[in-house]
């Protein structure tokens, strides 16, 4: 079940990136140089013209550091849950800014709703994974994979 959730959500997240990139393209493609300068878009324009260059609102470019992974299913699913909440909060902030522009607000509302669904699906996957792990252990380590620290952490 968890593998299917990861595949489905990952595929959909790529579509989200495409949707947001399309919105940005539509908003910037016909800007005049005066509009670019007045809006504070100048530094971006100098580097990328009006091409799509994924970055945070603060200007930090998207990079592989955005993907957090430890290889532990519990840790990674909690990270996924947090990422969905952060995306939802970002969409909330965007909606506060564009609430009177339906061409932007409507697709952002759709994307926000999908983040809520993704959060729920990751929660279901987490529950499923935890049920298959050592339920007596608070940290839910996988006895088939992880050795208790007493055995593996001794100084020989």
Residue in the block written with tokens 């940005």:
24
Query: Model confidence over 116-138: pLDDT tens digits?
Result: 999 999 999 999 988 877 655 55
Query: In angstroms, rounded to a whole number, what is the distance separating the alpha carbons of residues 39 and 102?
Result: 21
Select the more confidently predicted residue: 140 or 62. 62
- pLDDT of residue 156 exceeding 60: no
61-108 pLDDT, tens digit each: 888 877 788 888 888 999 999 999 999 999 999 999 999 999 999 999
Structure tokens at 47: 């580097």
For the chain, give the percent of residues with pLDDT over 90.
53
pLDDT at 32: 94
Q: Where are the domains of the chain?
A: 1-29+68-132, 31-64
Answering whether pTM is above 0.95, one says no
Q: Do 41 and 28 touch, CB atoms closer than 8 A? A: yes
User: Beta partners for 61?
Assistant: 55
| Mean pLDDT over each residue of the chain, to the nearest integer | 86
Q: What is the pLDDT of residue 14?
A: 92
Find the mean pLDDT for residues 2-21.
92
Mean pLDDT across 42-63: 86
How far apart (Å, rounded) are the C-alpha atoms in residues 21 and 5?
24
pLDDT at 136: 57
Q: Quote the pLDDT of residue 133.
A: 74
> Cα 135 to chain center, whole Å?
29
């Amino acid at each position: 079940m968890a593998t299917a959730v990861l595949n489905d959500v990952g595929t959909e997240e790529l579509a989200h990136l495409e949707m947001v990139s399309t919105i940005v393209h539509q908003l910037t493609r016909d800007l005049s140089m005066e509009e670019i300068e007045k809006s504070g878009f100048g530094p971006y324009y100098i580097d990328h013209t009006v091409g799509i260059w994924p970055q945070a609102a603060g200007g930090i470019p998207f990079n592989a550091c955005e993907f957090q992974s430890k290889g532990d299913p519990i840790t990674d699913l909690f990270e996924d849950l947090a990422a969905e909440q952060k995306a939802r909060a970002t969409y909330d902030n965007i909606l506060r800014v564009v609430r009177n522009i339906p061409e932007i607000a409507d697709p952002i509302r759709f994307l926000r709703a999908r983040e809520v669904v993704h959060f729920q699906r990751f929660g279901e996957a987490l529950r499923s994974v935890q049920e298959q792990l050592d339920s007596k252990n608070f940290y839910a380590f996988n006895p088939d994979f992880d050795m208790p620290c007493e055995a593996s952490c001794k100084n020989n």
